[in-house]
């Protein structure tokens, strides 16, 4: 079989890494890919927003299944476009992609279907938004309605700050957002919960805990994710039952009732408060960096899973996982999540021993003259697994020290809650 993975991040490298282990794959393509995917797949330099050109590439290379990594092409309707041309695609429709593409859509769906989430208001006009803030408790969460590359959520500790940030969003800070969602701040512990969905059923696809804040001890600005570990320490059988019954299943039922059944990866970003799950956000694809740890733990052939999903017989397949603990630490470019340095050579990568317990997944990299350079904010995902989470982290930290790149930084405390409270 020939497969195409669309995207250029650590998530896509991890998916390619896992697919490469299947003995039924003939050609594996990644569009556009990065310096890491280049070693295990054929990179195709093409803009992921040009659906017509992507279709030409699919036909030329006789691609059997397309896996969409990032959210933007999904929100823009790539699944509908390709399925309209009889191409098998793993990913939701444009309508269903609103679960991530519009926070207002997601929150209103929750309200209508009694799905537990933080109290909220949706506004497209400054005066009403300002009045809502003045009546709200502090801190308050200010969210851009549309996609914002992980930078559209702010926790504001004063009403003045919330009003200023709301005004910025309504004045066009993010091109994708003409609305703002104002939300109650929930205290608790985060949990990333993943399922894979076809038209008939869904299957659990792992748990993780992401670390979104840029600084040690979860301080500073939000990012796309500074690291993650799996499995999440706070996922119990009792809690999982609540997540399925109160959040996942009502959501899937609601999407079917709207006439747009959800298919593909679904990532529930949850806050656990007093043993109860609350939906913070949905992502319509695998998480990044959560995907990196989950692909390391996955035992079942990923191609078989993708085939079962696209053929709507996922319920006939049992997905198995390694019992080891896995952690990934993101090596970022200095300045991230603000303006960051680019085009800096990364040395010594070849000196790091990679095996089933130690991998480096590339994100913002490219290769030139057989050398690796940085081009993104999140650059490398240094990933390790072990029977013990602290040991896994130590392995990742040890490998990070071997990388010669003065323009980078990383958090040393990924997994701190789980390691501290063992």
pLDDT on residue 152:
84
pLDDT on residue 176:
84
Q: Return the ∠ at Cα 222 (arms to 221 and 224), rounded to 5°.
A: 140
Give the closest residue to 236 by CA, choosing from 272, 197, 286: 272
**Phi-psi group of 233: left, alpha or beta (phi > 0 → left; psi -120 to 50 → alpha; rest → beta):** alpha
Following DSSP, what letter does each residue of 115-145 receive, concatenated? Answer: --B--EEEESSHHHHHHHHHHS-SSEEEEES
Q: What tokens appear for 39 in the block?
A: 């070693």
- What is residue 193's three-state secondary structure? strand
pLDDT on residue 421:
64
pLDDT on residue 45:
97
Determine contact, residues 305/196, Cβ cutoff 8 Å: yes
pLDDT along the chain (422 residues), means of 10: 98 98 97 98 98 98 98 97 98 98 96 97 94 95 87 90 94 89 94 97 98 94 93 96 98 98 98 96 97 98 98 97 97 96 96 95 97 97 98 98 97 95 58
pLDDT on residue 185:
95
Supply φ then ψ for residue 23, to 5 degrees. Answer: -85, 5
Please provide the distance, in angstroms rounded to a whole number, between the alpha carbons at the two ends of the chain: 44
**What whole-number distance in Å separates Cα of residue 182 and Cα of residue 229?**
29
pLDDT on residue 73:
98
All domains of the chain in start order, with CATH: 2-92 (3.40.50.20), 125-178 (3.30.1490.20), 189-316 (3.30.470.20), 325-420 (3.90.600.10)
- pTM for the full predicted model: 0.96
The beta strand positions in 115-257, using DSSP E, are 120-123, 140-144, 153-156, 180-184, 189-197, 202-210, 213-215, 219-222, 227-230
Determine contact, residues 78/70, Cβ cutoff 8 Å: no
**What whole-number distance in Å separates Cα of residue 206 and Cα of residue 290?**
9
Q: Which residues have a Cβ under 8 Å from the Cβ of 413 and sit 6 or more positions away?
A: 216, 217
**What whole-number distance in Å separates Cα of residue 282 and Cα of residue 107?**
10
């Amino acid at each position: 079989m020939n497969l195409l993975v669309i995207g250029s991040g650590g998530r896509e490298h991890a998916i390619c890494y896992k697919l490469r282990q299947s003995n039924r794959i003939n050609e594996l393509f990644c569009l556009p890919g990065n310096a890491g995917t280049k070693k295990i797949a054929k990179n195709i330099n093409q803009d992921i927003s040009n659906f017509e050109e992507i279709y030409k590439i699919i036909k030329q290379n006789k691609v059997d299944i397309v896996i969409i990594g990032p959210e933007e092409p999904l929100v823009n309707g790539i699944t509908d476009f390709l399925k309209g041309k009889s191409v098998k695609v793993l990913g939701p429709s444009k309508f269903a992609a609103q679960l991530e593409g519009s926070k207002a859509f997601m929150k209103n769906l929750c309200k209508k279907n009694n799905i537990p989430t933080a109290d909220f208001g949706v506004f497209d006009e400054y005066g009403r938004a300002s009045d809502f803030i003045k009546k709200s408790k502090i801190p308050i969460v200010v969210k851009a309605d549309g996609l914002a590359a992980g930078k559209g959520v702010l926790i504001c500790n004063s009403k003045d700050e919330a009003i200023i940030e709301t005004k910025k969003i309504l004045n066009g800070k993010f091109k994708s957002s003409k609305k703002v969602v104002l939300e109650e701040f929930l205290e608790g512990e985060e949990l990333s919960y993943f399922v894979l969905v076809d038209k008939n059923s869904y299957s659990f696809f792992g748990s993780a805990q992401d670390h979104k804040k840029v600084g040690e001890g979860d301080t500073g600005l939000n990012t796309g994710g500074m690291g993650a570990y799996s499995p999440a320490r706070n996922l119990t059988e009792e809690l999982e039952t609540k997540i399925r019954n109160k959040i996942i299943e009502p959501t899937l039922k609601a999407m079917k009732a709207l006439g747009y059944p959800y298919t593909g990866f679904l990532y529930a970003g949850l806050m656990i408060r007093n043993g109860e799950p609350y939906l913070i956000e949905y992502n319509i694809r695998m998480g990044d960096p959560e995907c990196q740890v989950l692909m390391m733990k996955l035992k079942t052939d990923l191609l078989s899973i993708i085939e079962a999903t696209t053929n709507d017989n996922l319920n006939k397949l049992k997905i198995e996982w390694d019992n080891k603990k896995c952690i990934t630490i993101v090596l970022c470019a200095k300045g991230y999540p603000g303006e960051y340095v680019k085009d800096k050579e990364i040395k010594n990568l070849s000196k790091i021993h990679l095996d089933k317990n130690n991998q480096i997944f590339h994100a913002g990299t490219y290769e030139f003259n057989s050398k690796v350079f940085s081009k993104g904010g999140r650059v490398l995902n240094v990933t390790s697994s072990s029977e013990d989470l602290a040991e896994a982290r130590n392995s990742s930290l040890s490998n990070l020290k071997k990388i010669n790149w003065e323009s980078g930084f990383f958090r040393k405390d990924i997994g701190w809650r789980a390691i501290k409270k063992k």
